[in-house]
Amino acid sequence: MRCAEFEPWLLEHAEGSLPEEKRPLLIAHLAECAQCRQTLADLQSLDHTLSREIRKPQLSADFNERLWQRIRVETGGAAPTQLPLERVSKVRAEYEAGLRALRRGKILAAGLIDALGLGLLVGGFAYALYKHLPEFLKYNLGLREWGGLDIPVLAAGCAIAFAIGVLIRDWLKPAGQRSLF
């Protein structure tokens, strides 16, 4: 074992908490290692210094008196009552209101995503229509190829977006009211 591995043992030994079975090995190492002997001496002296220097602070003699006085002032001297029960129900009500708000928020977010997707699709459609209106008119209703966009593909995209929207909304409903999940 190297010195670094003995370090925790030295600390425990200085505190008097080194397990008995480790002691012989440590003593053997200390006999041949001046550096660890020095560290141990330092740790022991540190322990004395800290025991001496870290002193318990004292509370004022009139601490309890002042405490009761403060209790009288702040609570009118009345013993604490079942007020915490009211507090518990208040906290619970706040928690549930928060949950509802969160759920509303999620539904709102899902709605926004839906609206955004739908808007993009409709906008894209309108843009394509506007841009290619002359060709549209020119070729009349021979609609198959249209500005690189395939109409059936576009329609399928719309359908998928709508389906995803329906799924998300259904997933956000409370467990009992879901129709798909």
Residues that bind another protein (CB under 8 A): 7-8, 11, 15-17, 19, 39, 42-43, 46, 49-51, 53-54, 56-60, 63-64, 66-67, 70-71, 74-75, 79-85, 87-88
Q: How far is the CB of 114 from another protein (least distance, A)?
A: 43
The amino acid that residue 129 corresponds to is L
Q: How far apart are CA 132 and CA 148, in angstroms?
A: 11
- Strand-pairing partners, residue 146, are 149
Contact 33/46 with Cβ under 8 angstroms? no
For residue 100, the minimal CB distance to another protein (Å) is: 25
* Nearest Cα residue to 24 out of 56, 1, 41: 1
CA distances from 121 to 12, 53, 101, 110, 143 (A): 71, 75, 30, 17, 18
What's the first-to-final CA gap in the chain, in angstroms? 61
Give yes or no for a contact between 40 and 24, defined as CB atoms under 8 angstroms apart: no
Residue 81 in 3-state DSSP? Answer: coil
Residue 31 or 50: the one with the smaller Cβ distance to another protein is: 50
In the bound complex, what is the minimum distance in angstroms from residue 31's beta carbon to another protein?
22
The dihedrals phi and psi of 77, each to the nearest 5 degrees, come to: 80, -5
Q: Please, what is the minimum distance in Å from the beta carbon of residue 97 to another protein? A: 21
Closest contact distance (angstroms) between CB of 17 and another protein is: 6
